[in-house]
Amino acid sequence: MSSKIVTEAEVISVPAVPFTETFHPVHHREVIAVMKESIRQTGLEIVNSHYTLARDGMQFFAVWDLSEGNGEMCWSIGIRNSMDKSLALGIVSGTRVFVCSNLAFSGDFIEFRKHTKGLDYDELEFLAFRSTRKIIHNLTEFQAWHEGLKNHYLLETDARLLLVDVMQCGVFPPSKFARFCELYFGRRGATMFEFHEACTNILRGTNLQVMPRRNKILNSLIDIYLWGLEDIQNISPLGDFLEQRASSRAIPLSP
């Protein structure tokens, strides 16, 4: 999908799409307006923003960094919208690490409305407020999870096994192997946090439409590893997991 980085003004100036009997496309500027207001109502501020347009302006993606977090990372949200029926309006929670500007998402977009006939501005406002409150809860939990990765030392042998699975599941391609090794291996006392950061560093240039899905797979792989640590002592839980996965294919490959 061809896309380009733009300003907010360029997003707002995209020509509107006429309504039909069954299709009521909400303009990107209306999405921006209601989401800004819903964030303001929670007591937060947008401190940084990034915008992308695709499909000749019919698809819009945004990442907003919020005035919440700690001295090392802040909360972020991703927003998407389309005016050509290609995407439902959606929002996703995430965090950004200041020192490297890496962005991580908690999972897939929450699709909170398709552009059907009954969608008007009042309903859009209500949906935005409700979704923002839900995403704030998700952000609180995801930040705690993200920071908690610092407490888990990762053996180099397990890191290499986990890296293979990350590439096999399509988080990033094998062509990025050398880049990952440069970012991660060779550190003393490397933790799961640093492994996660190396992966999200590689994903920085990924299109926002697919980045949340790839983050979700990455986070799931890490969670399975951490769950294994609780159940198995003095044995590589990742090695056991990979053996089980080979037979069960429990985690789907990304498309």
The predicted structure's pLDDT at residue 209: 85
Rounded to whole angstroms, the Cα distance separating 19 from 16 reads 9
pLDDT digit string, tens, across residues 212-242: 999 999 999 999 888 876 554 444 445 555 5
- The CA distances from residue 204 to 104, 179, 197, in Å, are 9, 13, 10
Burial class (CB in 10 A: 0-12, 13-18, 19+), 255: exposed
Q: What is the mean pLDDT of the chain?
A: 84
pLDDT digit string, tens, across residues 105-158: 998 888 776 555 556 677 788 888 888 888 888 899 999 999 999 999 888 888
CB atoms under 10 Å from CB of 7, counted, come to 11
Instruction: Count up the domains in the chain and report the number.
Output: 2
pLDDT band at 190 (very low <50, low <70, confident <90, very high): confident
Structure tokens at 130: 């409700």
107 in the same domain as 43: yes
205 in the same domain as 117: no
Return phi, psi of residue 78, to 5°: -110, 140
Q: Which of 43, 123, 25 lies closest to 83, judged by CA?
A: 25
Q: Which of 69, 79, 86, 72 lies closest to 33, judged by CA?
A: 79
pLDDT band at 248 (very low <50, low <70, confident <90, very high): low
Kindly report which listed range (65-74, 172-181, 216-225) carries the lowest average pLDDT score: 65-74
The predicted structure's pLDDT at residue 254: 42
Residue 79 lies in a domain: yes
100 in the same domain as 165: no
The predicted structure's pLDDT at residue 238: 54
The predicted structure's pLDDT at residue 56: 92
Rounded to whole angstroms, the Cα distance separating 185 from 120 reads 52
Q: Which residues lie below 8 Å from residue 139, measured CB to CB, with a gap of 6+?
A: 66, 68, 75, 77, 93, 94, 95, 106
pLDDT band at 207 (very low <50, low <70, confident <90, very high): confident
Domain that holds residue 163: 152-248
Q: Which residues lie below 8 Å from residue 118, measured CB to CB, with a gap of 6+?
A: 24
Query: ∠ at Cα 116 (110, 118), nearest 5°?
Result: 110
102 in the same domain as 12: yes
125 in the same domain as 164: no
User: Residue 102 in contact with residue 96, Cβ under 8 Å?
Assistant: yes
Does an H or E element contain 42, and which?
A: none
209 in the same domain as 98: no
90 in the same domain as 164: no
Residue 253 lies in a domain: no
Residue 255 lies in a domain: no
The runs of H, that is alpha helices, within the chain are: 8-12, 28-41, 121-148, 156-168, 177-183, 192-202, 211-231, 237-248
Q: Which residues pair with 90 in a beta bridge?
A: 80, 111
Largest CA distance in the chain: 64
Q: Which residues pair with 49 in a beta bridge?
A: 64
228 in the same domain as 108: no
- The 3-class secondary structure across 62-128, one letter per residue, is EEEEEEEECCCEEEEEEEEEECCCCCCEEEEEEEEECCCCEEEECCCCEEEECCECCCCHHHHHHHH
